Structure 1
Amino acid sequence: MPPVVGPDPVKSSAETAIGCLLVAGSAIAWSTGGAFARFLDVSDNWTVVFWRSVFAALFLLCFMLVRDGPRGTLRLFRHMGLAGVGVAICFAIASSCFIIALSYTTVANVLLLQAGVPLFAALISWVLFRERVSVATWIAIGTVIAGVAIMVSDSLDGEVSPIGDMLALLIAISFATATVITRRKAHLRMTPAVFLGVVIAASVASTMAGEFRVSAHDFGLLFALGAINLGLGLALFVSGARLIPSALAALIGTLEPVLGPVWVWLLHNEVPSPRTIIGGTIILVALLLHLGWEYRRQRHLRTA
């Protein structure tokens, strides 16, 4: 049996840095959703999901056509295989269940269960692929979950909705699964997969929406929600998640609930509560410390 050759440390270090930046960029894009949504006058959530998904699909299609050209885009769709279909289904489930879950349970409960995404990603990677997760990463995951718990503790009212909480748990598992697949199939570009995912979400929403007509004001906001918040976020995430360990990608993604209240504060002048600030600070410090540790580890690999 030939010896197993490990990845080139320099290349691995460069890819890790790029992957971290891309996933952080996706978290920044996704974090704007709450602030944009506050400006909407649409009362039907499924109408929001429909137009948001349509504009995200258009953005992702244009993104692929500009980056890869028509022939390259067709090639991406042909080569995404079952892994791409799996990622599409996962993102379609996550985006659809999010709206349904909010009609049964609170935003706080959804955020708290979504904080478990890094934990689920690490467990799935370890159980199925024996991808080793460092002790430092486990500590960071635990700290982030604690930070999110502190952030949402003001909103936890003790009411339990089995349906809502199960849907929120399904969101976390679906997102974690998509992250792991993207990492394991790093040689495939998953942009066509997330395009298919938002098309599926739009199709589902089209059967649930009460109406599709919106005002010009809401139309512009829905375009921003679709193209910037969802489309750009997905494109950045699947581009970066293929370059770094699944647990790390999911961990960086938890920047989203930290930055969300910041956008609401800047655009709506809603000052975050002390617990939100404390919890967000804990998450941010944990992520920065972990990324600093990862950077030093990669430097050590380069010099070893």
Structure 2
Amino acid sequence: MSHRRALAGMIVVTLLWSIAGVVTRFLDSAQSFEVTFWRSLFTAIPLGAYYAVAHGRQTPRLLMAGGKALWISGLMWSVMFTCFMVAITLTTVANVLVTMSVAPLFTALLARFMLGHPVKPRTWLAIVVAGAGIAWMYGANVSADSRHLMGTLVALGVPIAGAINWNILQRSGQSVDLVPALLIGALISSAVTLPLSMPFQATAHDIGLLAMLGLFQLAIPCALSVRLARFLPAPEISLLALLEIVFGIAWAWLGANEQPAPQVLTGGALVLGTLALNEAWGLRRRA
């Protein structure tokens, strides 16, 4: 695959990832854990079908033979799936997406303690500046509505679980296939949130929207990103992933009239600008 085609593919992937926030704003009655349950279930079904077609009767054996790293990765994905959807129901799309965007910084910081990797001075600077941007974002919102604070704390589970995920995989030294890890994560997430979702309140309209998210916002783009990651360097993928935040905020603003507060736009621009410069510098050094 050419670099240009892989680049275009990753842009499409970020577009698909970014639709979750705006779609959830059109749900009728499904809330919190039920939203998570249905999306995770409809993510597991196509991923399970894909893996079964690809490997047939060998599927259970391959999953069991994946080792500890595969199952820890699956557990971390389940945390990310659950925290993201719960946070989206508690606070604004912009708050959740900008909070999630600090995942590369958390990963670098955790690698310092788990793997002994030194944290570069530019990354330390990015951590400080991004932290200041997030503090500015939430300073007014927290005092105005405690739900924003709760949503932020839940959303922090996504970059923390992501950082643990990638560091565990690197520490194990194993090459873990992301598709079964995602499948395990979706199954765990749906199993854990099922009893918390009772009694079901989702309408047929809600289930249809959440099924669309499971297939088009998670299963398909995640499977595509696995293939595309082979043709793009890590800093470039991190840069492209920031487009999800931009697209997601724009969808919620234009599609659901969820206009971010001025401090969110200012703090978010500071966070994203810092991350973009940090990753661009890493890409330049790699080149």
Q: TM-score, normalised by structure 1?
A: 0.71
Q: Do 2:47 and 2:219's aligned partners in 1 also have CA atoms closer than 8 Å?
A: yes
The answer for the alignment partner of 1:191 in structure 2 is: 179
Deviation readout 1:184-213 (Å, 9 max, x if unpaired): 546221211121111011111211112346
Deviation readout 1:113-149 (Å, 9 max, x if unpaired): 6455333311221222123443333333433333444
Match runs of 1:137-286 below 5 Å: 137-157=123-143, 169-184=156-171, 185=173, 187-212=175-200, 214-235=202-223, 255-286=243-274
Deviation readout 1:135-179 (Å, 9 max, x if unpaired): 333333433333444444442227779987765554442221112
Residues 138 and 242 of structure 1: is their aligned pair in 2 closer, same or farther, counting only changes over 3 Å?
Answer: farther
The separation in 2 between residues aligned to 1:170 and 1:240, in whole angstroms, is 26
Q: Do 1:122 and 1:246's aligned partners in 2 also have CA atoms closer than 8 Å?
A: no
The answer for the alignment partner of 1:91 in structure 2 is: 77
Match runs of 1:33-182 below 5 Å: 33-64=20-51, 68-70=54-56, 76-97=62-83, 114=100, 116-157=102-143, 169-182=156-169
Q: Do 1:114 and 1:168's aligned partners in 2 also have CA atoms closer than 8 Å?
A: yes
Q: Do 2:235 and 2:283's aligned partners in 1 also have CA atoms closer than 8 Å?
A: no
Residues 236 and 277 of structure 1: is their aligned pair in 2 closer, same or farther, counting only changes over 3 Å?
Answer: farther
Residues 99 and 189 of structure 1: is their aligned pair in 2 closer, same or farther, counting only changes over 3 Å?
Answer: closer
Q: Do 1:22 and 1:239's aligned partners in 2 also have CA atoms closer than 8 Å?
A: no
Residues 26 and 130 of structure 1: is their aligned pair in 2 closer, same or farther, counting only changes over 3 Å?
Answer: farther
Deviation at 1:241, TM superposition (A): 7.3
Residues 277 and 200 of structure 1: is their aligned pair in 2 closer, same or farther, counting only changes over 3 Å?
Answer: same
Q: Which amino acid aligns with 1:293?
A: W
Deviation at 1:89, TM superposition (A): 1.3
Aligned residues: 285
Moved more, 202-211 or 104-113: 104-113
Q: Which amino acid aligns with 2:206?
A: D
Deviation readout 1:235-278 (Å, 9 max, x if unpaired): 45666779999999778655544432211122224443333333
The separation in 2 between residues aligned to 1:34 and 1:89, in whole angstroms, is 23
The answer for the alignment partner of 1:7 in structure 2 is: none
The separation in 2 between residues aligned to 1:103 and 1:214, in whole angstroms, is 14
Moved more, 165-174 or 275-284: 165-174
Give the aligned CA root-mean-square deviation in angstroms.
Answer: 4.2
Does residue 31 of the first structure (1) align with residue 18 of the second (2)? yes
Percent identity at matched positions?
A: 33
Q: TM-score, normalised by structure 2?
A: 0.75
Q: Do 1:30 and 1:233's aligned partners in 2 also have CA atoms closer than 8 Å?
A: yes
Moved more, 30-39 or 267-276: 267-276
Q: Which amino acid aligns with 2:283?
A: Y
The separation in 2 between residues aligned to 1:181 and 1:248, in whole angstroms, is 22
Deviation at 1:55, TM superposition (A): 0.7
Q: Do 1:25 and 1:236's aligned partners in 2 also have CA atoms closer than 8 Å?
A: no
The separation in 2 between residues aligned to 1:146 and 1:77, in whole angstroms, is 42
